[in-house]
Structure formats: C-alpha cells, structure tokens
Amino acid sequence: MAQTDEIAQYRALVAKLNGWRKAYYTEDAPSVTDHEYDQAYQALLALEAKDPSLVTPDSPSQLVGDAVSPDFTKVPHAVPMLSMGDVFSLEELEDWAARLAAGVGRPVAYNVELKIDGLSLSLVYEKGRLVQGSTRGDGSVGEDVTANVRTIPDIPQTLPEPLDLEVRGECYMPKKAFAALNAAREAAGEPPFANPRNAAAGSLRQLDVAVTKQRSLATFLYTVVDPERYGLTTQHEALAFMQRLGFATNPTSVVAADLHTIDTYITTQTADRDALAYGIDGIVVKVNDLALQAELGNTVKVPRWEIAYKFPPEEAETQVLDIEWTIGRTGVVTPTAVMTPVLLAGTTVARATLHNVDMLAAKDIRIGDTVRLHKAGDIIPEVSSVVMAKRPATSVKAPVPSACPSCGEPLVHLDDEVALRCVNPRCPAQVQEQLTHFASRNAMNIDGLGPKIIAQLLERKLVADVAGLYRLTADTLATLDKFKEKSVNNLLKAIDLSRQNSVERLLFGLGIRHVGGKAAASLAAHFGDLDHLAQADAETIAAVAGIGPTIAEAVTTYFQNPGAQVLIEELRAAGVNLTYRGAGPVATTGPFAGLTVVITGTFADYTRPALTALLKAQGAKITGSVSKRTDLVVAGEAAGSKLTRAQELGVTVMDQAALRQALAEKPKENDE
C-alpha cells in the first residue's frame, strides 16, 4: 500500500495534470508546453506502475480527451475514439515493437504515418451523403460539429458511391493560416492561440459557423471504421480506399517490414518537418494488418497495435537584450524581445513577440534574462520560460509604456482586452489601414481609392488622416504615378459623392473597435447624428438595442480622445455629412413599387449602393440574378451577361436615360 506522502504526491500530480488537460482540451488554451506535460505524465505512469493501488478513476491515465462542452449536442461513439500511447526515443520504439512481435509470435509489418498536430474528427455518411461530424470528446461521447464540418473545403459532402461509412482522422490548421490568424487576433487585441492544434480546435468548436468557415481548416483522414465491410485487409489499403472516395489522406505514409525502414522514415520526416505546410508533432507506427489490429485490441485508453513516437522538444537558450514596444496597424501595442541571435528549427532567431502586457508579467521576462525559445506551430518564435537559475542580479523589468510609441497619445487598456491600445485616429502607424478601411465599399465607398493609391498619398505626405482625403485637388493627384486626367477626375468625383453618405457609413468607416456596419446603423438611427452620439455616456449607448457595454465602452473611449475630436471637426469643415439620413419610408406606389429588380453595369449618376438604396426606397425588391421571376433589369454601361440573360427571357430592361426619367429627379447619391 502507498504511504501517506506518496498518496499526497500522486493526488497533487493528478490535479496538476487534469488542470493542464482542461486548459488544452476544453479551453483550447494550453498553459504548459507539450514537453512539460509529457514529463509530468510519465512521472504519473511511473508512480502507478510502482503501486497500482494509487490509480484513481480521474487519473489522466484512465481518461481520453476531456469533457464534452454543454454548448454542443452529444454524439455517442459506437466504436470509442481512443488516444495513443507515446514513446520518446528510438530505443523505446524498438522495445515496443519487440514486445508486440514476441506476443504475436511472428514478424509484423507496420504502416508508418505522420502525427498531424490537430484534433480528432469523425465523419459519418449515409448512402454516400455526409450526415454527421463529431469531435472525439471523452472518447465515448463527442460533440456534434456537423454544421462546422460542412464549411471545410476538403471534406466531401457526397461520395462517388452510395456508401454507409464512418471515417476518422485529424482536423488541422495549416501553418500559413495559423500565422495569419494569430496576427489578426493580436492586431485586434485578442490573445493568440498557442499552437495550430488549439487554433484548429478553437475554430472547429465554434458556435458561429461563419467563424469556422473563415479559419482555413483542413483534414487528413486515416481510419475506416468497420473496414472488413468494404473488403479492406490492411491500413495501407484503407488509406487508398479513402483517397479514391475523395478524402484527403497524407501522402507520406509507407509500409515498413522492419525497424530500419521505420528509423529511416523518422530521420527523413524529422529533417523535412520545418518545410511542411502543416504542423506535425511525431510519427505514428501502426500494425498494417487490420485483422491483427482487431486481435490485439485496446487497453482502457489506447490501442495496443499503434504507438506515437513524439519528437523531442526543439528549444534553444538565449539572452534578452532589450524589450521593444511596437504599434500595429490597428493600434495594439506589443512587447517584443530583442535577443542574442540563436539557431532554432533551421533559422536564426533574434526577436520574439511577447504578445501582451499580461503575458510579459505572467512569464516574468526581464531584460538580461536567459530564456528558452521554441517555435509555436513550427513557425513563430516564442519564449517558453525564463531560466531562473541563470537570472543575473542586474536583470530589470521592462517599463510598460503609458504613451503610444508612434504618436505619444495615452494608451488605453479596454476591459475586454489583454492588449494595450492607441485609439488616436491620427496615429501615423495606423493611418494607412484606416484610410483603406475608410474608403472601402461598406464604409464611405470611395471608388478607385485602393491600397496602392493610399500608399502613394502617404509616402508623398499628401494626406495625414481620413479628413485629408477631402482636401485633395486635381493638381496634387496629378503627381501620383500613372494617374492621368480621367483617373484624377473619377477619384475626385468619388470623394465628393462620399460627402453625402448617411452618417452610419462614416461611423463604420472611422474604424472604432467593435463597431461594425450593423452597430453603426443602429447607433446612427438612434442618436440621429454624430454629435449626439459623441456626447452620450456609455450607459446611454449600451441601452441601444443590439449594442451593449463592450461597444459602448469602445465608442465613448474613441470620442473622448482629443485626436478623434479634431478629426471630426475637420470632416465637418470638409462638408462631410454627420447626420442620419436613413432609407426613409418605402414607397407603395410608383414605377418600381413591388417589382423584383436586378441592377447591372455602372452608372454615371449613381454609385451601386446609392442606386440600390434608392430603388429599395421606391418599393423595389433587389436581387442578384436574372430569372423568370425578375420584373425589371436596370442596365448601365458594360452590363454584361445579366443583360443578355434578360433579353433571352424577355425581361423588361431600363437604360440610364429611362431610369432618370422614372425617378423624375436626381437622387441623393450614396444615401442609404
């Protein structure tokens, strides 16, 4: 029987590991590295092997995955989705293979595959149609993520054969998508994902399907459930079978008849690991004979016929020389460690983001410290921890800035963010992104003002903020590269037209944190103009339907900034409309009332959003495609295929002259 101190040690280890498991599986936010978890888990297994009486039902050695989120419908797995056993050296792998061969009594062939850094996924098809996607969950019960699975491009919705089938594999996030997602999250003041696996899990386990669709998820399938039903006898055949049906399978797997082949595969894939477009954290060795797999069976947690060889952690030690603070394009101020250059995963690393003030404090990283580095997702240098034994007496904490390093304005720490943020709309570090957003279709809709033109305007110091757009002249625009008279006139006209926009477009175009198009429209309609909104307190704003405290805080913080106040006055002086004009009452009589209308081509007197809003106000229903149910096609210049389709179907077509006559008077352009 275990002694009291051994029981206490064991229970403390179980509690620590289960806390880490919850952060990893349930919260998709691991609090330690995989290597640190593996070391603690191996220590737990050693204690349990020494004294089996210690083992409790909540021990991680008895559990697969983690609890199913109550936000999802539960999906029972008819065949449990188990975890895998791990080995951490070639010697341990050889010992495992020797024990297995001795137990079987004959040589064993293996299928060797990459261990994809993602989360387990089950797909069920009935008569060749996808009917269910689910996560592993606790191994016995998973989460229904069918709607999200349907947004993943490489998962077939229908099979070429009407099969009843369940396949399993890994859902992952490619390295490029992972890097882009983390960059976007940090720019928005949100915490980054720790690795591609947790990014994939956080993306697949979304309640909003639209978020999953944006996350560029992908899959590799590797298991056919009930394979004998399809005449499959080996794992290699199962992979080929799934590939024929249209599933994504990893092309690197090989059949190995001996340990030398496995060793060669591991050496090759380890060397090529950094060049892969997706993350891997090891190699999986599986008995190739499916009948033998069934004969060997499983323990309570892992199959006896497969093992995962885990890569050793790739870390390097270096010294922090300085901590710099840089401002991103959306105003987020980020600490970056400047370090003695060190070789890590094939590249020289001299800088690593520290993400935000909270992470800097949590890891207690100081100037002069020796730190351990790893690459999150094999691509992003990240500080794992401080080597406290090597901390010099001269190390100092980096002072947290209170002012923006670009413009000097005070920084804010909004309640819902972990990031420091500069909210000055005139901050030079943010202006290019702000101008691009301001001119975009859903904001002020300044046609012809794209990123390349904006870059020239800034480079030549022709504008310093969005208000500067309204001071541009033909002479200044004529100095831009490849900008002739027609381009100059078109851009000036588009800028002039944007002055008349209803104020919700301006409000959205200002780029206030959390204020999207819908929120901008609600705020504009409620307060009537920008002045009343700017003077309102957070409580009043939060009371508006669909707004709430988060948006309210962002709005009040923005309008309290002196730079924002100056900008609004400059826009007012430039003649930009600051009032809500709305769509007005919808007409029930007139030439467009009750008609289904398609708009195509370009118009001399109207921007597309303005014409759409105008015809809606005249009672028209606007659709995007021409069909037999279309009543009218309004055709401008270069109308194209929609005009041809209308003529084929005999649908009435109205040109620009007839449109002007029908409307009787020129509308207020861009008014919505």
Could you read off the pLDDT of 149-196 as tens digits, one per residue? Answer: 999 999 999 999 999 999 999 999 999 999 888 888 777 667 778 778
* pLDDT for res 66: 61
Which of 318, 294, 276, 352 has its CA nearest to residue 116? 276
CA distance 363 to 386: 7
User: Percentage of the chain with pLDDT > 70?
Assistant: 91
The predicted model gives 71-87 an average pLDDT of 90
* pLDDT for res 577: 92
How far does the chain reach from its first CA to its final CA, in angstroms?
Answer: 78
115 is catalytic: yes
Residue 655 has pLDDT above 80, yes or no: yes
Q: Which residues contact 570 (CB under 8 A, 6 or more apart)?
A: 465, 467
Number of other CB atoms surrounding residue 158 within 10 Å? 12
* pLDDT for res 379: 66
Residue 366 has pLDDT above 80, yes or no: yes
Sign of CA dihedral 385, 387, 388, 393: negative
Same domain, 469 and 611: no
The predicted model gives 45-58 an average pLDDT of 83
Same domain, 444 and 502: yes
The predicted model gives 136-153 an average pLDDT of 92
Residue 585 has pLDDT above 70, yes or no: no
Q: Last residue of some domain: 260, 283, 310?
A: 310
CA distance 536 to 437: 25
Q: Return the CATH number at 535.
A: 1.10.150.20
Q: Is residue 79 domain-resident?
A: yes
* pLDDT for res 44: 82
* pLDDT for res 57: 80
| Beta partners for residue 316, in sequence order | 373
Same domain, 282 and 365: no
Total count of domains within the chain: 5
CA distance 319 to 374: 14
* pLDDT for res 668: 38
**Do the Cβ atoms of 245 and 262 come closer than 8 Å?**
no
Residue 377 has pLDDT above 60, yes or no: no
Which of 589, 653, 646, 639 has its CA nearest to residue 619? 589
**Do the Cβ atoms of 448 and 491 come closer than 8 Å?**
yes
Q: Return the CATH number at 36.
A: 1.10.287.610
Q: Is residue 410 domain-resident?
A: no
Here the tokens at position 182 are 């983390």
CA distance 52 to 58: 14
CA distance 503 to 101: 75
Domain of residue 607 covers 596-663
Q: Is residue 417 domain-resident?
A: no
**Do the Cβ atoms of 73 and 320 come closer than 8 Å?**
no
Burial call 111-147: b when 16+ CB within 10 Å, e when fewer = bbbbbbbbbbbbbbbeebebebbbbbbbbbbbbbbbe
Q: Is residue 402 domain-resident?
A: no
Q: Is residue 254 domain-resident?
A: yes
**Which residue among 16, 50, 115, 621 is the active-site one?**
115
| Beta partners for residue 170, in sequence order | 120, 220
- Tokens 């309008």 -> residue: 559
The larger pLDDT score, comparing residue 300 to residue 600, is at 600
Residue 666 has pLDDT above 50, yes or no: no
* pLDDT for res 534: 93
| Beta partners for residue 344, in sequence order | 347
Residue 62 has pLDDT above 60, yes or no: yes
CA atoms within 13 A on the CB side of 91: 0
CA distance 249 to 269: 17
Same domain, 464 and 547: yes
Same domain, 370 and 320: yes
Q: Is residue 117 domain-resident?
A: yes
Same domain, 511 and 562: yes
* pLDDT for res 576: 94
The larger pLDDT score, comparing residue 432 to residue 561, is at 561
Same domain, 203 and 168: yes
Least confident of 40-54, 241-255, 624-638, 654-668: 654-668
Here the tokens at position 79 are 């065949």
Same domain, 35 and 82: no
Q: Is residue 421 domain-resident?
A: no
State the average pLDDT for the chain: 87
Helix (H) or strand (E) holding 211: helix 209-214
Q: Give residue-wise pLDDT tens across range 422-457.
A: 888 778 778 887 898 899 888 999 988 988 899 899
Residue 365 has pLDDT above 50, yes or no: yes
- Please report, for residues 141, 516, 538, the alpha-carbon distance to residue 166 in angstroms, rounded to integers and kept in the order given: 15, 41, 52
Here the tokens at position 417 are 């963010």
Q: Return the CATH number at 621.
A: 3.40.50.10190
Which of 306, 365, 291, 326 has its CA nearest to residue 96? 306
Residue 313 has pLDDT above 80, yes or no: no
Same domain, 294 and 342: no
**Do the Cβ atoms of 555 and 541 come closer than 8 Å?**
yes
Residue 511 has pLDDT above 90, yes or no: no
The larger pLDDT score, comparing residue 418 to residue 96, is at 96
Q: Return the CATH number at 340.
A: 2.40.50.140
CA distance 57 to 52: 12
* pLDDT for res 11: 85
**Do the Cβ atoms of 61 and 85 come closer than 8 Å?**
no
* pLDDT for res 12: 86
Please tell me whether residue 47 adopts helix, strand or coil conformation: helix
Residue 46 has pLDDT above 50, yes or no: yes
The predicted model gives 214-230 an average pLDDT of 95
The predicted model gives 119-134 an average pLDDT of 96
Packing angle, helices 562-573 and 548-560, rounded to 10 = 80
CA distance 482 to 203: 43
**Do the Cβ atoms of 173 and 195 come closer than 8 Å?**
no
Q: Which residues contact 185 (CB under 8 A, 6 or more apart)?
A: 191, 192, 193
Residue 610 has pLDDT above 80, yes or no: no
Here the tokens at position 301 are 């947690």
CA distance 656 to 634: 8
**Do the Cβ atoms of 425 and 510 come closer than 8 Å?**
yes
CA distance 207 to 240: 34
DSSP 8-class letter at 256: E
Angle at 438 between CA 432 and CA 444, to 5 degrees: 155
Query: What confidence category does residue 518 fall into, taking pLDDT thresholds of 50, 70 and 90?
Result: confident
CA distance 207 to 183: 22
Q: Last residue of some domain: 342, 363, 390?
A: 390
CA 282 to chain centroid, in Å, comes to 24
DSSP 8-class letter at 54: G
* pLDDT for res 565: 93
Q: Is residue 419 domain-resident?
A: no
Residue 521 has pLDDT above 90, yes or no: no
DSSP 8-class letter at 337: E
Residue 251 has pLDDT above 90, yes or no: yes
Largest CA distance in the chain: 97
Same domain, 434 and 526: yes
Same domain, 172 and 290: yes
Q: Last residue of some domain: 511, 538, 573?
A: 573
Query: What confidence category does residue 384 fall into, taking pLDDT thresholds of 50, 70 and 90?
Result: confident
Least confident of 240-244, 511-515, 633-637: 511-515
* pLDDT for res 416: 61
Number of other CB atoms surrounding residue 489 within 10 Å? 12
Least confident of 107-111, 441-445, 575-579: 441-445
CA atoms within 13 A on the CB side of 180: 9
Query: What confidence category does residue 281 fall into, taking pLDDT thresholds of 50, 70 and 90?
Result: confident
Which of 274, 229, 226, 250 has its CA nearest to residue 111? 250
The predicted model gives 195-208 an average pLDDT of 84
Same domain, 303 and 323: no
- Tokens 């970056």 -> residue: 336
